Structure 1
Amino acid sequence: MTTPPEPAPSERARTPRDVRRWRGHLADERAEAAAYRDLARRRTGEEREILLALAEAERRHEQHWLDLLGDDAGAPLRGDWRTRSLGWLARRFGGVFVLALAQRAEARSEYDDDVDATAAMAADERIHEEVVRGLATRGRNRMSGTFRAAVFGANDGLVSNLALVLGIGATGASTTTVLLSGVTGLLAGALSMGAGEYVSVRSQRELLEASSPSPLASAALPDLDVEANELALVYRARGMSAPDAEAHAAEVLATYTSATEIAPALTAEETETHGTAWGAAWSSFCFFASGAIIPVLPYLLGLEGMTAVLTSALLVGIALLVTGATVGLLSGTPPVSRALRQLAIGWGAAAVTYALGLVFDVTVT
């Protein structure tokens, strides 16, 4: 037996519960449209147009609920606290962090299960999520290198120095010894991170520069034997097929000027992406140190014994939750699960070293 379709809202008696729900949807749509307009004010060009188009779509959804409510629309309500928070952040910041929150807000749409929302509205919300995801991805790509270094460096400092401090503290070492070990671990780790990043970036740039064509080769172009066209071998060596290489080489020789290059050198985008070796080294040093100082703070403040251990673990736990939640928000994934994952990994590593310290319980004076 076929189940009869749900009657349209206009075909059934509205209940106070329906009115409350519709007014809630109306408030959320208004808040989301305002958030997109606020974000658009901080953008130019295509991104601004996209955000304004999203705001217009939310206005259409707003009109749907106004039509249903009629005289019951009443005074405007406040939207869901998460939607209001999104609007507050959009008015004051407007970066990729806010776009990531907007992406999650679109993913929470209840229209798929709401009999009073149209199929088109539910489809709109799903597409809106993908639109915002695309805008957020642009920002994530721009900040991916710096963000990776920040999260990796700070998290490494938090976990490694907490493990060091707790491991040595568990052996029965004096507070002074634990403090000196923590400071030494901070400096050693930060210097190691900085040196490693310097070598990594410098080596990468040297590899890219080694792949750029020599100016001497470009200067030799006017004297090439056009019939032999050995320039085609250059392009074949760089991955072109033989016919494409022959055609491209002939085009280069036919349009040669004093500014012609065999192949483009290192682009400005590549230079910006990899940055300077010293800048990367200094950033890594600072990121690691900012995390590694936290486990040492209780000892710097004069705490001792188990009080210092628990305070250090608590402070690091809070920092791990914050970094994990931030990663979750920026990546468009659940922040709570990412925060708890970060906490479990950090505390797990520290617990292992603390247990080893208890095994080798040797009082140091």
Structure 2
Amino acid sequence: MAKRKKDTATGGDTTLLDTGSETPPSKQQIKRWRRYLAEERAEAAVYRELARKKKGVEREILLNIAAAEARHETYWQHRLGEEIGAPQSPGLKTRMMVFLARHFGSVFTLALLQSAETRTPYEHDTDATGQMAADERIHAEIVRGLAAKGREKMSGNFRAAVFGLNDGLVSNLALVLGVVGATSNNGIIVLTGLSGLLSGALSMGAGEYISVSSQRELLEASTPDPLAAEKLPELDVDANELALVYRARGMDEGEARDKAARVLAGINARQERASDPQRIGDVIGAVEPTDDPEVVGSGWSAAVSSFMFFATGALIPCLPFIVGMASTAAAVAACVLVGVALLCTGAVVGMLSGVSPVKKALIQVSIGLGAAVVTFGLGRALGVSLG
């Protein structure tokens, strides 16, 4: 007989099976179920830990998901019965989520949770119910929504920092190894690396400032003019040119005309001359911008972030040559240092993007070292021909 309980987090039902009539599970099943049980316990703890740091609706949502995970935990307890055994440790990724939830921001944790919920093994395991698989898939969408605000808030300057660091690592490693391929003169290599650092950092900083400032200006250009709202009481009701404003904002002719008539018929000069941007937007019919100016960030902060992180990344491949290592050993050391840094940045970007950190890290390393190999070969070819 199956017992059903309403899942308040997803609106679905979670079925808990009565295991009394089932055939005994195999050793492989017991091992797998114990792993599932450990994962469900840990994930519920992660959601409760995140909820502890939140308030209002976000806290309520996180606690509801934790309750759903606890019901999944109960399901595996029922399936295991007397074979439940001693509590097991969850996988490394889940333990990392617990650590992040307790010590760091929720954006990293939510990104990992989104990835974990999306790749649930329940969809391909007949021992789990279809409802549990559906729960996990819906949980991923809930987490995606919770993580969206955090991702948006850090997207502007974070993008500049990550791009700056990666560009500094890759471009200066490629530049330095290109020179190593042509000459073994340590002074020339160091001078080239530091010159690439400074010129690249200045270029990145200036580029980010122009990019972000231009984006903010484009957003501001779509913001309604407060003076336009103040002139509404003086419009000719019969001519009703306000309808043209609404049509320019995307309404069809009939809808625009009806809305303009309602606005002008009920307008109060003292109230409608308000300076509240939201009220002006309501009256003029502003289209919601696709990007929030606060999300875009400031031009100066993006420029400084990009400059500093590019310089940091570009300094790393120069360090072995600065400390006086022989050119061949220094080149190998530079590749190792840059490879480790690219693995770290790729993993961080992967976590925040909700994709596999390992896959993203390996892609970053492949691109960086691939560029270095190409320029080293070019430098070697030019060095031989010039020599």
TM-score, normalised relative to structure 1: 0.86
SS where residue 355 of structure 2 aligns?
A: coil
Whichever residue aligns with residue 190 of structure 1, its letter is A
Q: Which residue of 2 aligns with 1:333?
A: 355
CA separation of 1:17 and 1:321: change in aligned 2, threshold 3 A: closer
Preserved CA contact (<8 Å) 2:321 2:327: no
Structure 1 residue 90, shift from structure 2 partner: 1.6
Preserved CA contact (<8 Å) 1:31 1:87: yes
Preserved CA contact (<8 Å) 1:213 1:265: no
SS where residue 56 of structure 1 aligns?
A: helix
Structure 1 residue 115, shift from structure 2 partner: 4.6
SS where residue 12 of structure 1 aligns?
A: coil
SS where residue 383 of structure 2 aligns?
A: coil
Q: Which residue of 1 aligns with 2:158?
A: 147
Distance 1:213 1:132 in 2: 34
Q: Which residue of 1 aligns with 2:340?
A: 318
Select which of 285, 292, 295 maps to 1:270.
292
CA separation of 1:298 and 1:118: change in aligned 2, threshold 3 A: same
Farther-moved stretch of structure 1 (16-25 vs 180-189)? 16-25
Q: Which residue of 1 aligns with 2:79?
A: 68
Distance 2:103 2:357 in 1: 21
Structure 1 residue 204, shift from structure 2 partner: 2.6
How many equivalent residue pairs?
A: 357
Map Cα deviations across residues 9-28 of structure 1 (whole Å, 9 max, x no partner): 74323555554444333222
Farther-moved stretch of structure 1 (349-358 vs 258-267)? 258-267
Preserved CA contact (<8 Å) 1:209 1:266: no
Distance 2:288 2:150 in 1: 23
Residue 58, structure 1, aligned to residue 80, structure 2:
no
Residue 258, structure 1, aligned to residue 273, structure 2:
yes
Preserved CA contact (<8 Å) 1:172 1:362: no
The Cα RMSD (Å) is: 2.9
Distance 1:271 1:214 in 2: 17
Farther-moved stretch of structure 1 (242-251 vs 275-284)? 242-251
Farther-moved stretch of structure 1 (273-282 vs 22-31)? 22-31
Whichever residue aligns with residue 338 of structure 1, its letter is K
Distance 1:19 1:234 in 2: 67
Structure 1 residue 188, shift from structure 2 partner: 0.8
Map Cα deviations across residues 283-332 of structure 1 (whole Å, 9 max, x no partner): 22122112111111112222231111111111111111122222222222
Q: Which residue of 1 aligns with 2:132?
A: 121
Distance 2:300 2:192 in 1: 27
CA separation of 1:164 and 1:226: change in aligned 2, threshold 3 A: same
Select which of 38, 43, 61 maps to 2:54.
43
Farther-moved stretch of structure 1 (257-266 vs 316-325)? 257-266
Distance 1:30 1:210 in 2: 51
Farther-moved stretch of structure 1 (80-89 vs 211-220)? 211-220
Residue 220, structure 1, aligned to residue 231, structure 2:
yes
Distance 2:28 2:375 in 1: 56
| Stretches of structure 1 lacking an aligned partner (at least 5 in a row) | 1-7
Select which of 197, 204, 211 maps to 1:193.
204
Whichever residue aligns with residue 228 of structure 2, its letter is A
Farther-moved stretch of structure 1 (61-70 vs 206-215)? 206-215
Map Cα deviations across residues 204-261 of structure 1 (whole Å, 9 max, x no partner): 3333334444444344333322222233333333433333332333333332432174
Distance 1:314 1:77 in 2: 36
Distance 2:39 2:170 in 1: 40
Residue 347, structure 1, aligned to residue 369, structure 2:
yes
Q: Which residue of 2 aligns with 1:3?
A: none
Preserved CA contact (<8 Å) 1:9 1:68: no
Preserved CA contact (<8 Å) 2:157 2:297: no
Preserved CA contact (<8 Å) 2:41 2:69: yes
Q: Which residue of 2 aligns with 1:4?
A: none
Q: Which residue of 1 aligns with 2:88?
A: 77
Distance 1:9 1:83 in 2: 31
Matches within 5 A, 1:6-45: 10-14=21-25, 18-45=29-56
Structure 1 residue 80, shift from structure 2 partner: 2.9
Structure 1 residue 354, shift from structure 2 partner: 0.9
Whichever residue aligns with residue 150 of structure 2, its letter is G
TM-score, normalised relative to structure 2: 0.82
Preserved CA contact (<8 Å) 2:233 2:267: no
Select which of 104, 108, 111 maps to 1:97.
108
Distance 2:288 2:29 in 1: 62
CA separation of 1:275 and 1:118: change in aligned 2, threshold 3 A: closer
Farther-moved stretch of structure 1 (125-134 vs 42-51)? 125-134
Preserved CA contact (<8 Å) 1:208 1:266: no
CA separation of 1:304 and 1:231: change in aligned 2, threshold 3 A: same
